[in-house]
Amino acid sequence: MLVTKISAIEDDKPVTLSIKLPTGIHRDLIAYAKSSRATVANP
């Protein structure tokens, strides 16, 4: 059985990630961001 261990990252180079989301999840994330922004702006 293969065991993978996570170790410290040697450098702090930025990485770019790209994912494809279903439309429904994208819509939910946009709605969540808008509601969070409203909450943070008006505590």
Q: What is the pLDDT along the chain (43 residues), one digit of tens a residue?
A: 778 888 887 888 888 989 999 999 999 999 999 988 877 766 5
Residue 4 is predicted with a pLDDT of 83
6 vs 26: CA distance, rounded Å: 30
**∠ CA 20-21-25, rounded to 5°:** 170
Helix (H, G, I), strand (E, B) or coil at 10: coil
Best CA proximity match to 25, nearest among 37, 16, 17, 33: 33
